Amino acid sequence: MNTNTSNVDRVIRVVIAIAAVAGAIALGFGSVWAWVLVVVAAIMLVTAAVGFCPLYRVFGVSTCRVPAQPRA
Specify if 17 maps to a domain: yes
Q: pLDDT per residue over 13-45, tens digit each?
A: 999 999 999 999 999 988 999 999 999 999 999
Q: 3-state DSSP call for residue 35?
A: helix
Residue 71's pLDDT is 58
The residue segments making up the domain with residue 14 are 7-59
CA 64/CA 67 separation, integer angstroms: 9
Q: Does position 68 have pLDDT exceeding 60, yes or no?
A: no
Residue 44 lies in a domain: yes
- Backbone phi and psi for residue 71, each to the nearest 5 degrees, phi listed first: -80, 140
| pLDDT tens-digit readout, 38-54 | 999 999 999 999 999 99
DSSP 8-state secondary structure symbol assigned to residue 68: P
Total-model pTM: 0.82
**Of residues 59, 71, 43, the one with CA closest to residue 4:** 59
Q: How many domains does the chain have?
A: 1
Q: Is residue 18 part of a domain?
A: yes
Residue 58 has pLDDT above 60, yes or no: yes
